Amino acid sequence: MKTIDLRSDTVTLPTPKMREAMSNADLGDDVFGEDPTINRLEEIAADKTGKQAAMLVASGTMGNLICSLTHCGRGDEAILGDQSHMFYYEGGGMAALGGIHPHIITNQPDGKMLLADIDSAVRGEDVHFPRTRLICLENTQNRCVGSVLEPEYCDSVAALAKRRGLSVHLDGARIFNAAVALGIDVKKLTRSADSLMFCLSKGLSAPVGSMVCGSSEFIAEARRTRKILGGGMRQGGIIASAGIVALEEMIDRLAEDHINAKNLAEGISQIDGVSIEPSKVQTNIIYFDLLQDNRDKTDEQFLAKLDEKGIKLLNLGPAHFRMVTHYGINSKDIDTALTALTEVMKGT
Residue 270's alpha-carbon distances to 264, 265, 292, in angstroms, are 10, 9, 17
pLDDT digits (tens, 9 = 90+) for 233-266: 999 999 999 999 999 999 999 999 999 999 999 9
- pLDDT of 186 reads 98
The C-alpha R_g of the chain, in whole angstroms, comes to 21
Check residue 262 and give its pLDDT: 98
Q: β-pairing, 311-312 with 314-317?
A: unpaired
Q: Which residues of the chain have pLDDT under 70?
A: 294-295
Please tell me the predicted confidence (pLDDT) of residue 295.
64
What pLDDT shows up at residue 124? 92
Give the pLDDT confidence of 43-58 residue by residue, as tens digits: 999 999 999 999 999 9
Predicted pLDDT of residue 294: 62
Give the pLDDT of residue 97: 95
Domains and CATH numbers, the chain: 14-249 (3.40.640.10), 253-346 (3.90.1150.10)
**Which of 271, 344, 283 is CA-nearest to residue 313?**
344
CA–CA separation, 173 vs 171, rounded Å?
Answer: 6
- pLDDT in the model for residue 168: 98
**Helical spans, DSSP H, in the chain:** 16-24, 36-49, 60-71, 85-88, 93-98, 115-121, 151-163, 175-182, 187-190, 216-228, 237-249, 254-268, 299-308, 331-346
